Structure 1
Amino acid sequence: MIERYSRPEMAAIWTEENKFNAWLEVEILACEAWSELGHIPVADVKLLRENASFDMERIYAIEEETRHDVVAFTRAVSETLGEEKKWVHYGLTSTDVVDTALSSLLRQANNILRKDLRTFVDVIGEKAKEHKHTVMMGRTHGVHAEPTTFGLKLALWYEEMKRNLDRFERAADGVQFGKLSGAVGTYANIDPFVEQYVCEKLGLSPAPVSTQTLQRDRHADYMATLALIATSIEKFAVEVRSLQKTETREVEEFFAKGQKGSSAMPHKRNPIGSENMTGMARVIRGYMMTAYENVPLWHERDISHSSAERVILPDATIALNYMLHRFTNIVKNLTVFPENMKTNMEKTFGLIFSQRVLLTLINKGMVREEAYDLVQPKAMESWETKVPFRQLVENDPAIADKLTEEELEECFDYTFHLKNVDTIFERVGLA
């Protein structure tokens, strides 16, 4: 991932040096396991642990000749050792090291993403409670529907992100597996204890069955989950963008002193952070498709997945880390304009109360079709003439004669629509 969208803690996991460190740890832990079995002398393992190292330039130089990165790595490490070097890579195949180390790196990345997700959920929850009773217009098909609150909109985000957190935990568990089972997964030249030992030390689980590789359905599921989380963030960001339109201006991204919105138009205050979320989500969804195409490997292994994963796994985790951090700050610092929300509610001349008039007429004994056919023409007339809907209702004896003044007043009381807000907040755990 380019530096612009990389945060230091996550980016550090995916450096070449850290990758080689992870490979080296797998190699040394495997030797420790062999020592536990009595196959490698304890003294040799001690020397390996103390002295094994690598020079990255040397690895790259050897790879120029071998055209095999793991062979280049093991030879570069061996050059830093004495006679104990014979135990490096003992009984292992390349993917025993690469896949298990990759799972270890993903585990580190998951720890960061988990923290990010929990912080994001908490921030949304606090903002939802802050605006629990901030009344605004609910819109369906982009058109005024009925009153809601901004807090309810945020409570919806909160609940969705809780589901995403659950999905993430499951998907993260799915990629936190290791395998040291040899060339085709039969443990022909390695004891299953070695796999168990290495995985336990790395905080991984041994794959119950493998070929030369871990199966890539695990990684496809993981990438799909990251893509879904990114898409949820995009969904929320699109809402911010829509509500920040000049004609609406119910919310606005924080605009810092000295910030510029346009090189040409000094007045501009654009929702660039939320727009950025849409772009980043597109990238991660694209990587999801690549992960799915990595699943059908040939027989017990090919490396068609390898080149793709060198890009998509670091990039997707780095990108989602960036998205979560940036959009958390957008939500935390979001400017909300309650007065604009109320003003916008009044732009449709009371039409948002049409269902209340309809249902009240039904409650008074009118057949639904008859009531609907009375109310709709008044609503359409209000749309066309901009005459307040209530005025048209009051002036029509076919409607007004069936309703008392108190009933009519209740029809046009927006608080009626919000009487269950507390109940909804209790359901989602925000009481």
Structure 2
Amino acid sequence: MSADPNAKYQSPLTSRYASEEMATNFSNNKRFSTWRKLWLNLAIAEKQLGLPGITEEAIQQMKDHLYDIDYEVANAEEKRRRHDVMAHVHTFGLVAPKAAAIIHLGATSCFVTDNGDLIIFRDAMDILINRLVCVISELAAFAQKYRDLPTLGFTHFQPAQLTTVGKRATLWIQELLWDLRNFVRARNDLGFRGVKGTTGTQASFLALFNGDHDKVEELDKLVTELSGFKECYPVTGQTYSRKIDIDLLAPLASFGATAHRIATDIRLLANLKEIEEPFEKDQIGSSAMAYKRNPMRSERICSLSRHLMTLVGNALQTASVQWLERTLDDSANRRISIPEACLTADIVLSTLQNVVNGLVVYPKVIERRINSELPFMATENIIMAMVKKGGDRQECHEQIRVLSHQAAHVVKAEGGDNDLIERVKKEPYFEPIWNELDQLLDPKTFIGRAPQQVDRFLKDYVDPALAPYSEILKNKKQVDLNV
């Protein structure tokens, strides 16, 4: 078989997009070294509780060989035995011969597979939480910078009242804060399967400790603590409940919806030429249309987010068909869906951080679009100003209605600029307020409390949410995407 990596399919999640950190977390090295640590923790706890035959030399040999995994031996053993766990028990025993007889003592395969998965998933959530915190921080700085820059608001993607660029960004941040809450909750809710035996009854360990229930309970507690968890699930079948996988993937799917929404907004704004994602000096937008500046990063976020949102369906279906104490039709599925969910979320977050950090705002384009729509929005202010000067509200309404329709005809039928204000300036009826028109058309009088809302939101919600991650933010690195 060819050793050329280009000679066979590779997942683009790892070969093209994934961060080294997340790809390493789901690597064989991480998986199988974690198994060895679990076997070590089990042996340490069993020895501590007085189980005979476990020597210090055996423990030390296990400690010395946690990472030097001979994959040739392991693969040959798995091919012969058709059992991955026993293949690695054998491979570990070859380099730790003094421990060979007690590795995996009393355990079932799920002792390492399920507990190992929970460790890897917990570490994956730590990576994702740190990345999400960096995205929120970058976007908060963006919101603060543009807190009072007026921009045309849209409902139904039709022109609406003004908002500010910073206020719009707070809508994105708020959803990301909810995602952060969900990530942290899912991470902290992860327990440990613990030491439960083949069907969860701990019968094998009860036999090892000659019927001493207290020692079996203590063994469960010790291995849980040695593995870095505060508590284990009180009851399990052979596996931990696959409902836990739903609790892990659902927040990731929900984040996918958030990321898709943000990236879609950026794509819409890029079409309007108001805001653009970063575009490198030598980047090519189109092979045919050299002028193009396609929002390819935002499009990638949308594309991968859709994939991320679908993966929770695997967990839902798998959890629903777990028979009695267990069935093995979950195994192959989970090897794909859960790593892919974490890898995809990591890629989306990395790309989103890159986009947010390099967002380019074009105030002049934004101002031009405001000026094209603001005269229509200002009609009520014009009516109120005329009434203050003694005018009749109904008569003023009719006057401005006629001029507005004339201006709209110029814009829609003739493709011209909105000349409503010029018409108002030429209409003698409005002479009493001619000198007030500039003030009445100041965009900052149309944005309400948007700047103050940004300030309050950042102070009362964003800053407290980011406070526990000050060290992460102090050392955060800007994301340089490979592709």
Relative to the length of structure 1, the TM-score reads 0.88
Relative to 1, partners in 2 of residues 1:300 and 1:363: Cα closer, same or farther, differing over 3 Å?
farther
Asked whether the 8 Å contact 2:193–2:236 carries over to 1, the reply is no
Shift, 1:8, TM fit: 0.9
Given the alignment, which residue of 301, 304, 308 partners 2:326? 301
- Equivalent residue, structure 2, for 1:108: 123
Q: Secondary structure at the match of 2:287?
A: coil
- C-alpha distance in structure 1 between counterparts of 2:351 and 2:438, whole Å: 45
Identity of paired residues, percent? 25
Given the alignment, which residue of 171, 178, 184 partners 1:156? 171
AA of the residue aligned to 2:357? K
- C-alpha distance in structure 2 between counterparts of 1:268 and 1:155, whole Å: 29
Does residue 435 of structure 2 align to residue 420 of structure 1?
A: no
- C-alpha distance in structure 1 between counterparts of 2:120 and 2:350, whole Å: 20
Shift, 1:113, TM fit: 1.2
- Equivalent residue, structure 2, for 1:221: 247
AA of the residue aligned to 1:299? L
Given the alignment, which residue of 32, 35, 55 partners 2:70? 55
Asked whether the 8 Å contact 1:179–1:210 carries over to 2, the reply is no
After superposition, the CA RMSD in angstroms is 3.1
AA of the residue aligned to 1:6? A
Q: Secondary structure at the match of 1:137?
A: strand
**The 10-residue stretch of structure 1 (29-38 or 290-299) with the greater mean CA deviation from structure 2:** 290-299
Relative to 1, partners in 2 of residues 1:168 and 1:357: Cα closer, same or farther, differing over 3 Å?
farther
Q: How does 1:36-115 map to 2 (within 5 A)?
A: 36-40=48-52, 41-43=54-56, 44-50=58-64, 54-82=69-97, 84-115=99-130
Q: Secondary structure at the match of 1:138?
A: strand
- Equivalent residue, structure 1, for 2:364: 339
Shift, 1:2, TM fit: 3.3
- Equivalent residue, structure 2, for 1:123: 138
Relative to 1, partners in 2 of residues 1:253 and 1:51: Cα closer, same or farther, differing over 3 Å?
closer
Does residue 302 of structure 2 align to residue 273 of structure 1?
A: no
- Equivalent residue, structure 2, for 1:27: 39
Asked whether the 8 Å contact 1:148–1:418 carries over to 2, the reply is yes
For each residue in 1:215-254, what CA deviation from the matched residue of structure 2 results, as whole angstroms up to 9, or x when unmatched? 1222112111112212212211111111111xx2001122
- C-alpha distance in structure 2 between counterparts of 1:260 and 1:391, whole Å: 43
Given the alignment, which residue of 164, 187, 196 partners 1:172? 187
Shift, 1:383, TM fit: 3.0
Asked whether the 8 Å contact 2:425–2:434 carries over to 1, the reply is no
Shift, 1:162, TM fit: 1.5
Q: How does 1:231-380 map to 2 (within 5 A)?
A: 231-245=257-271, 248-296=272-320, 297-348=322-373, 350-354=375-379
Asked whether the 8 Å contact 2:61–2:99 carries over to 1, the reply is yes
Given the alignment, which residue of 211, 218, 221 partners 2:237? 211
- C-alpha distance in structure 1 between counterparts of 2:347 and 2:50, whole Å: 47
Shift, 1:144, TM fit: 0.7
AA of the residue aligned to 2:237? T
AA of the residue aligned to 2:330? H
AA of the residue aligned to 2:78? E
Asked whether the 8 Å contact 2:263–2:298 carries over to 1, the reply is yes
Asked whether the 8 Å contact 2:135–2:349 carries over to 1, the reply is yes
Given the alignment, which residue of 15, 37, 58 partners 1:3? 15
Q: How many residues align?
A: 426
Relative to 1, partners in 2 of residues 1:51 and 1:335: Cα closer, same or farther, differing over 3 Å?
closer
**Mind listing any 5+ residue stretches in structure 1 that lack a counterpart?**
none
- C-alpha distance in structure 2 between counterparts of 1:221 and 1:412, whole Å: 51
- C-alpha distance in structure 2 between counterparts of 1:356 and 1:309, whole Å: 61
Shift, 1:429, TM fit: 2.2
**The 10-residue stretch of structure 1 (269-278 or 74-83) with the greater mean CA deviation from structure 2:** 74-83
Shift, 1:378, TM fit: 6.5
Shift, 1:273, TM fit: 0.6
AA of the residue aligned to 1:427? R
For each residue in 1:342-395, what CA deviation from the matched residue of structure 2 results, as whole angstroms up to 9, or x when unmatched? 10112236223356568889999xxx9999999877655543344645567789
Relative to the length of structure 2, the TM-score reads 0.79
Relative to 1, partners in 2 of residues 1:69 and 1:144: Cα closer, same or farther, differing over 3 Å?
same
Q: Secondary structure at the match of 2:100?
A: helix
Asked whether the 8 Å contact 1:14–1:314 carries over to 2, the reply is yes
